[in-house]
Amino acid sequence: MTPWPYPRWIAHRGAGKLAPENTLAAFRLGAEYGYRMFECDAKLSADGIPFLLHDSTLERTSNGRGTAGDLSWGELAQLDAGAWHSRRFAGEGLPSLESLIRFCLANAHALNIEIKPTPSVERQTGEAVAQLSARLWSGTKVPPPLLTSFQPESLRGAMEARPELPRGLLLDTLTPGWLESAAALGCVAIVCNHALWDASNVAQVHAAGMRTLSYTVNDEWAAQRLIALGTDGLITDRIDRFSPAG
Say whether 54 is catalytic. yes
Distance CA 83, CA 62 (A): 8
- Name the active-site residue from 12, 85, 109, 194: 12
Say whether 194 is catalytic. no
The length of the chain is 246
Catalytic residues: 12, 54
